[in-house]
Structure 1
Amino acid sequence: MQFLCGGVGDLLEHLTEQDLLSFTGSAATAHLLRNHGTVTSRAVRFNAEADSLNCSILGPDAVPGTPEFDLYVDQAVTEMTVKAGQKCTAIRRALVPAPAVEAVLEALTDRLGRVTVGNPAADGVRMGALAGVDQRDEVRHAVAALEGSTKRVFGDPYRVDTVDADPERGAFLSPILLHGPDPDRAEPHEVEPFGPVATVLPYDRPEDAVRLAARGKGSLAGSLVTADAELASRMVLDLAPWHGRILVLSEQDAAESTGHGSPLPQLVHGGPGRAGGGEEMGGLRGVLHHMQRSAVQAGLGVLDALTGGRTSG
């Protein structure tokens, strides 16, 4: 297996019909690779696992004071701050019943206010820097694009207090929480800030939450936090066409859950549409996805020879 991180020169021009090109990264780069002249003209097999505007849905039953409400807040903060939000599975859109929006914003603001940013080696630091200054600037531009349709509730993209680190020289960024009062605006469903940023969007009915989730045009991961098994079963069926993986989280399974952004090895990691249309892991299924299959028709003698005598009559 070969792995390249960086420029590839003219390597793609030398791909043939027998090659497989796999990519993990941004949806924009995946689109560029998929449409490369050699890839399209020679039908080079292509597998992409791309970033996506993943969502987490708070169920109508998960009101403040329930274990599910607390789980929702905990998970959102974790996904915003782990790896400084630089994960393709991180929660970008928090879909919340309209009556619970203020409570969610208040709870998230309280939790994010306790996140210390700085040198990860320093005691008490909970979030480090972004991958580089260029990445930080890209996130700032994305936040600026979102602020036309959202209100900033927590954080400042241009100011952050750091522990044992220089905030000007380092690629540090405050966690940023946005509120989009109009969930039908296009920006929250199209602009992805690849950093510690999430937008809270209201919904009225469960079917509205499903519709808003689909506005992401394909996601790697989605989560639904509810204790209502009947509601979850209905929503999962409607969410499934737009997600590679769906986590249903409640007090019942919280202790065993790996969380929204951490799939188990036997689960498919990929997703439709913007997420790339590919799949990774998934046990044997994930391996077969990278292999070519051919059907063979022959007499029993030939089939026995091909399979080492394992052909059934």
Structure 2
Amino acid sequence: MTRTYEEWKAAAAGLAFDGRPVIGGVRMDSRSGRTVEKVNPATGQVISQVHEGNAEDVDAAVSAARRAFDAGEWSRAGVSFRRERLLELANLMEAHADELALYDTLDMGKPIRESSSIDAPGSAALFRFYAEAIEKHEDLIPVTAPGSTAMVTREPLGVIGVIVPWNYPLEILTWKVAPAIAAGNAVVVKPPMEAPHSALFLAELAMKAGIPAGVLNVITGRGSVVGEAMGRHGDIDMLAFTGSTGVAKQLQVYAGESNMKRLALEAGGKSSNVVFADCDDLELAAEKAAFGSFYNQGEVCSANSRVLVERSVYEKFLGYFHEASRNFTPGDPLDPESGTGSLVSAAHADGVWAAIEGARAQGTVVAGGVRSEINGSRAFIEPTIVTDVPADHELHTREIFGPVAVVAPFDTEEEAVRRANETPFGLAASLWTGSLARAHRVSQLLTAGTVSVNTVDALGFTTPFGGFKQSGFGRDLSVHALDNYTDFKTTWIQWG
């Protein structure tokens, strides 16, 4: 049943918050004894006290995970056992979907309409996907010489570290934790300090689902402390990360300086959306461009915020794009009618606003460019469209991570491809064309982990998601994500 604005506000008022880490299945205070006020960015009000973990907390969590893995109750259990427990966790997540959605909305400002209808139920469904997938992941008996038999089995790696960003706190957590524990590993998660509560609640639900204590541990703390401790920890076998390219590079250093742990890094992006004049529906392309630029307040690593439009339809597209941007007017995140919510913090909004002001000085703001105050908070920015900035302007080159799109014309297909690829990133790209030949030709030339044709930012459970170049390596989603958390073992038996 869809809730009204008043009903969501009442549910939010009754929500319980507990900012303590979960280690070995137990809520406990951090070793430092320090806490940080967690503020709802849409109101500026303090909603909880989040414990600030340190390296000792990481040691405790890793030890709990190692004990759980070595005990074998999870890691060596049959896949049918793990399947049943993961399906029960998915059921519990669905039963508590409104709470999970509220935690993310109140923590980081995303609209409750999206967190309750997409993020929370989608995360539960992804646990169900991996619960079913592990029973269909086959081992191998390759051909060997007579008198011998070789078995090739997929083995869990052991203790997995997971570092999650604040823009999709529950969803991206699920992208990594679900395949990691489905494969038999034990996990230590560092959620974002800006949005930790859905991860902490998920750890409690995992215990209720019968997943053994220590298989899923959650440590709150700053990246500079907890994240570095995880990156350097000698008993973490593999680390999965989504976040900035700068931090991803630092994690590579930590891994090299410690135990050479494996890494799967989904880093920054600055995705292009190329619109050719021969696209079948220019108005639809503009509507999807607005979605690709402004959804989730523009706080999306794969946001298609560089829009390149063939010159002959450039002005017409801009008119449609401006009109479509109105669908993303910000409002109270608890109001199901709001187009978008607040940015994750007033400080982050300051940074996005500075980028807009810089663009105003060098280009033209054709829509938006307004910072609003709602419920006493100034973490709200209108969807903003900028044109006429130089090709080397930061709107073309830097991940702004806010509701800002830059639009530029092109004249030839070759120019469009060159400009689309003029970025150190390679996470995603989109293109619009009515020509099947051009769709195949240009998608092959675009350097991106996902190329969406006649749509934007397409993904699904069955398709891998990740990037090229400085957008990182490794893939989330699909059965291929299991490759991050397992490796092949060959057992050769000589019997003749």
TM-score w.r.t. length of structure 1 = 0.80
Which stretch shows the higher mean deviation, 144-153 or 25-34?
144-153
Query: Taking CA–CA contacts closer than 8 Å with sequence separation of 6 or more, which of the two structures ends up with the larger relative contact order?
Result: 1
> Match for 2:277 among 30, 35, 60?
60
Do 2:232 and 2:259's aligned partners in 1 also have CA atoms closer than 8 Å? no
State the AA in 1 paired with 2:442: M
Give the structure 2 partner of residue 267 of structure 1: 463
Q: Relative to structure 1, is the Cα distance of residues 237 and 172 closer, same or farther in structure 2, using a 3 angstrom cutoff?
A: same
The structure with more radius of gyration = 2
Q: Deviations over 1:196-215 (max 9, x none)?
A: 11110211111111111111
Aligned mates of 2:412, 2:266 — CA distance in 1? 31
Aligned mates of 2:395, 2:379 — CA distance in 1? 24
Q: Relative to structure 1, is the Cα distance of residues 149 and 286 closer, same or farther in structure 2, using a 3 angstrom cutoff?
A: farther
Is residue 278 of structure 1 aligned with residue 460 of structure 2? no
Is residue 4 of structure 1 aligned with residue 194 of structure 2? no
Give the structure 2 partner of residue 203 of structure 1: 410
Q: How far apart are residue 128 of structure 1 and its match?
A: 1.2
Matches within 5 A, 1:148-297: 149-157=362-370, 159-160=371-372, 165-166=374-375, 169-180=377-388, 182=390, 184-239=391-446, 242-249=447-454, 259-283=455-479, 285-294=480-489
Aligned mates of 2:300, 2:316 — CA distance in 1? 26
Give the structure 1 partner of residue 149 of structure 2: none
Do 1:55 and 1:92's aligned partners in 2 also have CA atoms closer than 8 Å? yes
> Match for 2:315 among 102, 105, 108?
102
> Match for 1:133 among 346, 357, 372?
346
- Listed as ranges, the gaps of 5+ residues in structure 1 are 250-258, 303-313
State the AA in 2 paired with 1:33: L
Q: Relative to structure 1, is the Cα distance of residues 102 and 39 closer, same or farther in structure 2, using a 3 angstrom cutoff?
A: same
Q: How far apart are residue 129 of structure 1 and its match?
A: 0.7
Do 1:142 and 1:192's aligned partners in 2 also have CA atoms closer than 8 Å? no
Is residue 14 of structure 1 aligned with residue 221 of structure 2? no
Q: Relative to structure 1, is the Cα distance of residues 185 and 244 closer, same or farther in structure 2, using a 3 angstrom cutoff?
A: same
RMSD, aligned α-carbons:
2.4
Do 1:156 and 1:176's aligned partners in 2 also have CA atoms closer than 8 Å? yes
Q: Deviations over 1:232-265 (max 9, x none)?
A: 11111111xx21111111xxxxxxxxx5234111
The number of aligned residues is 277
Do 2:295 and 2:328's aligned partners in 1 also have CA atoms closer than 8 Å? no
Aligned mates of 1:12, 1:218 — CA distance in 2? 23
Give the SS at the match of 2:295.
helix
Aligned mates of 2:402, 2:360 — CA distance in 1? 15
Aligned mates of 1:142, 1:290 — CA distance in 2? 38
Q: Tell me which protein shows more helix as a share of its residues.
A: 2
